[in-house]
Chain A
Amino acid sequence: MLSTQRSDDDDQYMLVACLDNVRNVSTILKAIHFKDTATVFASPMGLKITVEDAKCVQANAFIQEAIFHHYVIKEEQLAFKINLTVLLECLTIFGSSSMPSGNTSLKMCYAGYGCPLILMLEEEGVLTDCNIKTLEPDDVLDFDFCSSNVINKIIMKSECLKEVFSELDVTSDILQILMSPDHPYLQFSTFGNAGSTHSSFPKDSEMVESFQCSQTQTNRYKISLLKPSVKALALSTRISIRTDDRGFLSLQYMIQTEDGQICFVEYYCSPDEEVDHNEES
């Protein structure tokens, strides 16, 4: 029974991806795991996994084809929805902690529309077969965020932002992000029960690697929507913060895998109401 499963002909699958160290993929997926379901897009470039919440926030993880040591896809684009919680449990079934004992290798197969995603994991001669049902893919949000409309852009090391985000005042509904070519350059503010907080970064801070702000912009975002991005921030080494002319926020995280490869995770978030709205009071 085991041998027949192993010798299955790969020809029947539209997508076959193999990986020596499953944690390269599972850590990236954990960075966007704030909802149970995710939509997976597979293309010859690699995999894009999208998670959305409240039609206001979207997270994308890109796992490029180079992360896999074997990657074959027969179509230009494949899409399916999957339970991300289940997928992550399966990927980390031999334990998620980095044990010195050895790596878990993964073979992932998908036979096409309506078929389950098949995972075969192996560690120390022990095999695990997982058969995860796939769902009809939903349309994902298009934030229409193009680089030509970007007004302000800052690239910085993640380190200092980790503190800001982990200590966010959760009694505040919103996080206000100010980006400006003049003082205070970059400021994160919350307005909670106990008072307001402001964390500012000067543009010549060692942490800031690139500072391209053309006009002062103050936008508010729901903290509940941004809070999940802490997971990605915690794993990342660099972050790019961008806002466009409508106040939409794009956060891009550069994450280094255990094998030293670079992956990207991005979050898009739509702004809360206008700062100087009349009804607000």
Chain B
Amino acid sequence: MKFRGKIMDPNCIHHFSNVVNTISKLVKTCIMRITEDKVFFILSERVNDGGAQIWCELPQVTIMSGGREMFIILSERVNDGGAQIWCELPQVTTMSESTMAVPRFGVSFHRVNDGGAQIWCELPQSHFFDEFAMEGVSAESNEIYLEVAPDLLVRSLRTAHSAKWVKVKLTKKNFPCLTIEVDLPSGSVHQRLVIHDIPVSVVARKHWPDFTEPEMPRFDVSIAMPQMRLLKNVVDKMKNLSNYVSLSANNSGEMKVSVETDMASISTHFQNLFNPSWNKDNTQTQAPMSQDRDPQEFATSRVDIRRFAQFLNSQQVNPDRVICNVVHHRMLHFFLLHDDVSLQYFLPVVSR
């Protein structure tokens, strides 16, 4: 098994650490899956410690103009509070306000008893790796699966903000390591190199099927989220009162966030929001928007409020636009756009 990749563009290094940072706030460990043309971050915690699952996909090299992408998906399958992240940095930001291309990879949503959420992150590959080389377990299964703590990745990338380049490679130093080499500007002719060895464990091939791609949901309502600051305040306050929050939205630009407790019922109404329309011909796996829906009719999902608040607070960037897709009584699907970065978050409903 061999793997090495090199990132040279400062913006890519910055983006890369932002993405890893966001993920580290959501899960403790994840699986790094390296294939010929992509790198993924998948999976993480075991079920009993609130198991989460990440999926991150980094397309490898620059030569080809299309199709190099990086995804980070995180998903948890747990009895409660499983989360899955999907963050996407499309290579070209061609998404117009009204027509947004549904990501062409399928995202499957893990069924959990209650509370499992999903995140998916995708970065434009072409920027990401200037050099990329890998050799898998064998010729027919040319992939590598490593278990790694995103928190350690964050720490090793902390010095990378001013780096000339960052190298990521798989090494063997008594035990398998992911070595991060950061070349810092030195002012003299000598090289200033910071090397971090992050211990990883190699995942056996029989466990690979655990880390398959999630599927895109069929949602009932798609709506642009209101100002994050206000929403974050509201949800943080509601968190003190209840464990669950209901998010409802309709196709007339209205959104409602509400909690209900023994003592009080509170609902916050947002109006004049934007309902984006989605292309429906993107993949064979999904047909997103339900047709002929009464624009006034609310679709509602009740989710774990701590997961929701954690998601709102984990954002390292203030996104330009956040889209929320509601699958009635099934799940919430958030889609964040910031410059060329996007992040998706899947939050399943909690049964009563």
Contacts and interface: CB of A to CB of B under 8 A. Distances in A.
A126 B264 contact: no
B272 A93 contact: no
A128 B266 contact: yes
A130 interface: yes
Interface string A56-95: 0000000000000000000000000001011001101111
A89 B229 CA distance: 17
Q: SS class of chain B's interface: helix, strand, loop or mixed?
A: mixed
A170 interface: no
Contacts of A124: 227, 230
Given A86-B264, A89-B240, A93-B238, A129 B269 contact: yes
B266 A129 contact: yes
B264 A92 contact: no
B237 A93 contact: yes
Interface string B76-91: 0000000000000000
A131 B226 CA distance: 23
Given A89-B237, A93-B233, A127 B266 contact: no
A125 B253 CA distance: 13
A2 B271 CA distance: 9
Nearest to B260: A131
Contacts of B269: 2, 126-129
A152 B238 CA distance: 46
Nearest to B268: A128
A81 to B, nearest CB: 11
Contact-residue size bin, chain B (C-beta under 8 Å from the other chain): 20 to 34
Interface in A96-133: 116, 123-133
A127 B255 CA distance: 11
B241 A86 contact: yes
A237 B34 CA distance: 64
Contact of A127 (B229, B240, B268): B268
A126 B52 CA distance: 34
B211 to A, nearest CB: 39
A38 to B, nearest CB: 13
Contacts of B268: 93, 126-129
Interface in B250-283: 254, 261-272
B263 A130 contact: no
Nearest to A119: B266
A270 B32 CA distance: 65
Nearest to B257: A128
A124 B271 CA distance: 11
Interface string A1-16: 0100000000000000
A168 B198 CA distance: 48
A278 B200 CA distance: 71
Contacts of A86: 241, 261, 263-264
B234 interface: yes
B288 to A, nearest CB: 26
B265 A131 contact: yes
A130 B234 contact: no
A229 B42 CA distance: 52
Interface in B232-249: 233-234, 237-238, 240-241
Contacts of A126: 226, 230, 268-271
A198 B266 CA distance: 48
A94 B234 contact: yes
A83 B234 contact: no
B231 to A, nearest CB: 9
A132 B262 CA distance: 9
Interface of A: 2, 83, 85-86, 89-90, 92-95, 116, 123-133
Given A123-B230, A127-B268, A129-B268, 19 more contacts: A86-B241, A86-B263, A89-B238, A90-B237, A90-B266, A93-B233, A94-B230, A94-B233, A94-B234, A95-B229, A95-B230, A124-B227, A124-B230, A125-B271, A125-B272, A126-B230, A126-B269, A127-B271, A132-B264
